[in-house]
Structure formats: structure tokens, C-alpha cells
Amino acid sequence: MGTVVDDAASMEFHAFFERHYAELSRLAHLLTGEADAADDLAADALLALWHRWDRVRAADHPVAYARGVVANLARTRIRSAVRERRRVSLFWAQREERTENPDIAGVVDVQEALRRLPFRKRACVVLRHAFDLSEKDTALALGVSVGTVKSQTSKGMAELQKALGSAGGPQKVHAAMARGGETGGTAR
């Protein structure tokens, strides 16, 4: 008997999907301004509705409920985009500096050593030493805690010093990364 109810619910949901998908996609497009994301948001909303279909179909206005889900997903997407833009602008906010006669070999060595670091350590080291961001700004840019920035930067610098075999590691790394843009390379 459960199969009959499940089949009926499935058919009912399918009909709801066919009737309202385009409208929900259009709503998502108007809320976010992103045509490419609209179909994904509508599909995500309908998937969420399917998981709660027993409650949704019992609601007085299932379409209104669906619109609310789309609106919430769109709001989340917009907030995520704003956070990402803030992180990117914080990253690029530092002024560009030029150095005469850069130590190209040193820059290449540091960049190679950076590539060997795991991403989070590399990101912390680069933001702290190449871009002179504070621990707080680095944490904000990476979406981690200040404690994580401290520990990952410390561990990353220790690994770089070991890889580069230099006594003046932090100064050499800082100087090489600050000049790194002039060789055409980037710390990935």
C-alpha cells in the first residue's frame, strides 16, 4: 500500500515540477540577476521540496512555499557572492610595488617552495608576508580563525625555511614574495 502512496506522491510532485519550474527559475533570475544560476537555484529548491514533499503538498499554498525556498537560496547565494567579493578586494587592495634588480633566482626558489606547501599554509604565508595583511585580515580573507592563521603561518614558514635552507628565512621569503610579481610568476 505504501507504494501506491509513493507513486501518487511522485506523480503529484512531477506535475508540480512541470507546472512551476520555469516560474521558479524566472524568480531566481530576477532575485540574483544571474541567468546561469537561476536554473540551478530552481532545481535546488525543487529538490529540497521533494525531500519534504509530504509537508509541502499538505500546505495551503505549496507554490508560495516553493517561492520562499527559492528566495532563501537566492539570498544565501547573494551573501556568498558578497563575501567572496570582499575577500577578493581585500586580497588585491595592497598597492603594487616595484623593485630594481630583483633576485630572480631567489623568487623562483621561494615560489617553488611555496608550491610544495599545502594550500592553507601557502595562503596564510602569502597573505601575511607577501601582502602584509594582519592576522585578522588574513583570517577574514580565508574564512578561518585567527588561531588557524597563526598556526598555519608558523608551520608554513618553518617548512619554507627548511626547504630553502636559509637562516634569514622570513626576511628572504618576504622580500622574494614581494618582488615575485616582477618575474611574471605567481605563488600558486
Give how far the C-alpha of residue 186 lies from the chain's centroid of Cα atoms, to the nearest Å. Answer: 20
149, 138 contact by CB (below 8 A): yes
Convert the pLDDT of each residue in 148-163 to its tens digit. 999 999 999 999 888 8
Retrieve residue 159's grid coordinates. Answer: 617548512
Terminal CA-CA length for the chain: 58
- Max Cα–Cα distance, the chain, nearest Å: 81
Query: Which amino acid appears at position 70 of this protein?
Result: V
pLDDT > 70: percent of the chain: 78
Question: What pLDDT, on the 0 to 100 scale, is given for residue 145?
Answer: 93
DSSP 87: H
Question: What pLDDT, on the 0 to 100 scale, is given for residue 188?
Answer: 35
Angle between helices 146-164 and 104-116 (to 10 degrees): 120
Tell me the torsion sign for CA atoms 91, 93, 131, 99. Answer: positive
- Burial class, 170, CB count within 10 angstroms (exposed 0-12 / middle 13-18 / buried 19+): middle
Question: What pLDDT, on the 0 to 100 scale, is given for residue 98?
Answer: 64
Average pLDDT for 37-52: 92
Question: Where would I find the beta strands (DSSP E) of 79-145?
Answer: none
Convert the pLDDT of each residue in 53-68 to its tens digit. 888 888 788 888 888 8
| Angstrom distances, CA of residue 163 to CA of 11, 110, 117, 148 | 62, 9, 10, 22
| Angstrom distances, CA of residue 180 to CA of 11, 23, 58 | 60, 50, 62
Mean pLDDT of the chain: 80
Query: How many CB atoms within 10 Å of residue 102?
Result: 17
Residues 6+ apart with CB under 8 A from 21: 42, 43, 46
